Structure 1
Amino acid sequence: MKKNNPHVEGSDGLVYTARLPLSSATLNWLAELMRGHCKKIGSRWRALSAGKIAGIVLAVLRCDQRPGDLAGGNGVHRTTVSRWVREVIGLVAARAPRLDRALKKIARSGGGVVLLDGSLIRTRRRTGTENRKNYSGKHKCHGLLVIALTDDKGRLVWVSAVRPGRTSEITACRHDKLTAHLRAVDLGAIADLGFVGLDDSRLGADPAVITGYKAARNRPLTRGQKLSNKALAAARAPVEHGFAHLKNWRVLGKIRTDPKWATALVRALLVLTNREVAR
């Protein structure tokens, strides 16, 4: 019996190569992680080597390549590539730092403050009841909210669980008990005006979250308050660099995966981003 296994894009499809803007150290680390996982679960055979699997997964995450295109160029099925991507994301996401451990590490290194910010990751519009909770009235689009902490130099140290776009940044921080974790290690956080009201400490206590001043319709800002806002904006500017490094992974351009799986995706990209930035 003759087997006929054509490629996903057809037997006469063109195959091209491209250069990934990533270091070989990240590729080798991911390949070793894959080899260790295969040895642990007793997987003796894969269609491709661990190094090639790592390269395919990085191409999907960094350049948002379609699994079907990569499958056709490597002689495997599209579902095989999708399974590899989810498998590697799960392995890398398990190495993402926890909130309490990340803050303790900064406190031990002599840091005094962290930078706090939130960002919306766009998603495709969903139908039915799933459509409403992912719609962000602030950004006027569908997406998922993620909260991140960086050190004073803009290096990402922690990302929260991904939540529906209609969730406010303050609500997301309170779900994670952020202020309690900050006070436990005597750290402060610098945030923008979207986090005003997050710190509900008693009067006279040192604030755990430092924000600027908001102007009201009948109460404009004084000159001193404007200068304070300007100084805080300059101090928290590095947090934008951290989000920029994270969003260099084009798979976050518009998430097409299950929102429940997006948390593992973002945390895996945090680990990979830190490896790339620290090299």
Structure 2
Amino acid sequence: MKTTSPAEGAQHAVYQVRLPVSKRTLDLVGDLIRRERNRLGTRWRKVPAGTQALIVLAVLRHDQRLADMAGGNAVSASTVRRWVQEVLRLLAARAPRLDRALKKIAQRGGVVVLLDGTLIRTQRRTGADNRRNYSGKHKARRNHH
């Protein structure tokens, strides 16, 4: 017999986690989203910009699963994925180009530049791209842009 209801317990469970981001970061991302919505002339969204910012930061910073964040906020996992991509695009647009940043550092007399080489766990790639993004150190795929 097939059923769509859970075997036992409540249909929806909610849990809280502490998200290690500052109010300043949350406000920055929320403001970016608000400005983008205004630029696009978006009249209605499922959640306010601040909530979208919190959901995206939870996915990026706390590694929350898309489906987990979606279900608790009455949106689909694909919507959360789209929100994450939108925020990453907005943040990337604010970042200085590496060549310009290095030139500015050199003009100010800087001689040493430290680049963050953090390996980030990602999902396995398929096909020809499979091996070149594999991190032997972490036994996982890594983002390579």
Q: TM-score, normalised by structure 2?
A: 0.79
Structure-2 residue corresponding to 1:247:
none
Q: Which has the higher strand share?
A: 1
Shift in CA distance, 125/25, structure 1 to aligned 2, threshold 3 Å: closer
Structure-1 residue corresponding to 2:113:
114
Instruction: Spell out, residue by residue over 1:233-258, the C-alpha distance to the aligned partner (whole angstroms, 9 max, x if none).
Output: xxxxxxxxxxxxxxxxxxxxxxxxxx
Q: Tell me, what secondary structure is at the counterpart of 2:113?
A: strand
Shift in CA distance, 62/40, structure 1 to aligned 2, threshold 3 Å: same
CA–CA separation in structure 2 for the residues paired with 1:93 and 1:116: 16
Structure-1 residue corresponding to 2:61:
62
Unaligned runs of 5+ in 2: 1-9
CA–CA separation in structure 2 for the residues paired with 1:56 and 1:128: 31
1:130 maps to a residue whose letter is: D
Pairwise CA distance, 1:95:
1.5
Instruction: Spell out, residue by residue over 1:107-142, the C-alpha distance to the aligned partner (whole angstroms, 9 max, x if none).
Output: 233322223575544444444433233345x64845
Q: Number of residues paired by the alignment?
A: 136
Shift in CA distance, 64/142, structure 1 to aligned 2, threshold 3 Å: closer
Q: Tell me, what secondary structure is at the counterpart of 1:143?
A: strand
Pairwise CA distance, 1:25:
0.5
Structure-2 residue corresponding to 1:143:
141
Pairwise CA distance, 1:56:
0.4
The ranges of structure 1 where at least 4 consecutive aligned residues each deviate by more than 6 angstroms after the TM superposition are: none
1:27 maps to a residue whose letter is: L
Where does 1:84-233 land on structure 2 (aligned, <5 Å)?
Answer: 84-115=83-114, 118=117, 120-135=119-134, 139=137, 141-144=139-142, 162=144
2:20 maps to a residue whose letter is: P
Q: Which has the larger radius of gyration?
A: 1
CA–CA separation in structure 2 for the residues paired with 1:140 and 1:62: 19
Q: Do residues 29 (structure 1) and 28 (structure 2) align?
A: yes
Structure-2 residue corresponding to 1:222:
none
Q: Tell me, what secondary structure is at the counterpart of 1:81?
A: helix
Preserved CA contact (<8 Å) 1:27 1:55 = yes
Preserved CA contact (<8 Å) 2:134 2:140 = yes
Instruction: Spell out, residue by residue over 1:155-180, the C-alpha distance to the aligned partner (whole angstroms, 9 max, x if none).
Output: xxxxxxx2xxxxxxxxxxxxxxxxxx
Preserved CA contact (<8 Å) 2:125 2:141 = no
2:60 maps to a residue whose letter is: L
CA–CA separation in structure 2 for the residues paired with 1:140 and 1:73: 31
Unaligned runs of 5+ in 1: 1-10, 146-161, 163-262, 264-279
- Alignment RMSD (CA, Å): 2.4
Q: TM-score, normalised by structure 1?
A: 0.44
